[in-house]
Structure 1
């Protein structure tokens, strides 16, 4: 989040996947102090104060002048300003109206107003019409509020099909779930769903000290690349996600028993559908690869199966269902 247009070379840079620890430029800290804004934990506000990390984000983003970037959690506008300087257009979302003045200070032009290539959306991104964004986003770069990181990404990968790369800061535990391989303890419905749309390009641990207030949890800078998406996932995302959610509904059960408990088909019918998809009935949900869920979804669709209603209605804002089990 650059406060002065260009971002200088970091004084120190650790190679590989080590912790990012650089000398912060105090202009970001000063702006936070001058604003008098008290971060709201209920909104997951942990502002990035180390401007040098912006250079890392921009390098991972590999944006072009014609790119359109979506940012969630504009905050004090530091990352937003850096994105505006390199992108053709930026859609910046911010839910907290008390940050508007700070955003205008960070982003305002000498003649007044906001940059012409910026659209500031003062709304909850989870309730926004993402499909209606114009121009269409091609990249996403965000310091995602912890409370919405998982549901936003689960929504964005199917509602923003034109986004080819995500460079996002998220809670470490969320990062692990987003990219977990099948068979691991952290592999869940969110993992399977995200891996149907993206592949991990880079994961970089971040020091807690680059945020204010200092969070109680660790963070990771993730770079996710969009991959080719199966036509069924593109055409019926809610259905495929419903299959995944139902299978993970009871982790201690086999996928057949878990889905039978969700309703719609008997164990015998599910076993038959699984056989056609090449799935063994004795496996648990965490043992199935993402592509196997797509194969199962095809068979269940042919048999008229209907995904159950979401069991956690407070999280999803669309028909997708729960972002994770």
Structure 2
């Protein structure tokens, strides 16, 4: 049976029926335009074999569109009122499709992989503006099974995530998200498709995780790379030599490590790609390794 998507009138009636008022603290703005949710799901490439992790399903607009594609959905909702209502709404609009939905009343920033019965293969969400970047980075790190991402975020955040090295919008989020995969913009979304209407435009961002990562992906390595990214952007106008001086121990040592990584010490952090940050860490580890030399009858370490 065809799934009925929610429209503007249904969204308002549903909110009134459960005596619900959107909360700014949770970043609650609900999409009520069926064409927009279809566009998001279509751009995500989600199909019936996917297990989709949805963040902040709200009143269920995007959830219904995902189920309409035949996917299994785990919806993580922090608001207990909305979490309780979602299965009822889905059952009323999709009937037999409710068996493909799991709802968790959780804060997404604390979600762990052991809480899910099945590893997710995709992340599709209208991310709350106030936690969009932390939530995205947390989920990409916590769920390596996620191969494809399609998120709607504030337009300014979308520009930062998709920005290339050297651009005015390129920064910490731009570099960190590229640790996991390739990033693409998928256009803008008007404020008029939301209730309540936000004061800003939104943007769609897609991420395709690397099929084979160009660098190690273990937690320790990732955290060290992210530390370098934070240092590199802490004072954007500093040269790389000066920016990394405290981390390296001195300006001369910083320059030596940068040159070992084939990075001009006069470059600024805002021009460094994720590959540059990774290479800086890897070459620095090689520089720090003790040199073991064998001499007749003994081994010396220098």
* Larger proportion of helix: 2
Gaps of 5+ in 1: 9-23, 306-325
Partner of residue 241, structure 2: 256
Post-superposition shift, 1:201? 3.7
| Count of aligned positions | 285
Post-superposition shift, 1:304? 5.6
Q: Point out which structure has higher relative CO (alpha carbons under 8 A, 6+ apart).
A: 1
Q: 1:34 to 1:109 in 2, by over 3 A?
A: closer
The runs of 4+ residues in structure 1 deviating greater than 6 Å are: none
TM-score of the two chains, using structure 1 as the length reference = 0.80
TM-score of the two chains, using structure 2 as the length reference = 0.86
1:268 to 244, 252, 264: 252
RMSD: 2.5
2:27 to 21, 37, 44: 44
Partner of residue 322, structure 1: none
Q: List per-residue Cα deviations over 1:179-236 (Å, max 9, x = no partner).
A: 1111111111110111232223442111101111110111112222222422324462
Q: Which has the larger radius of gyration?
A: 2
CA contact (8 A) 1:70 1:141 kept: yes
Partner of residue 241, structure 1: 226
Post-superposition shift, 1:294? 0.9
CA contact (8 A) 2:112 2:142 kept: no
Of stretches 208-217 and 74-83 in structure 1, the one that deviates more from structure 2 is 74-83
Distance 1:301 1:92 in 2: 41
Q: List per-residue Cα deviations over 1:86-143 (Å, max 9, x = no partner).
A: 3442111111112234313312379x99923222111101011146533111111111
> Does 2:99 align with 1:116?
yes
Post-superposition shift, 1:6? 4.8
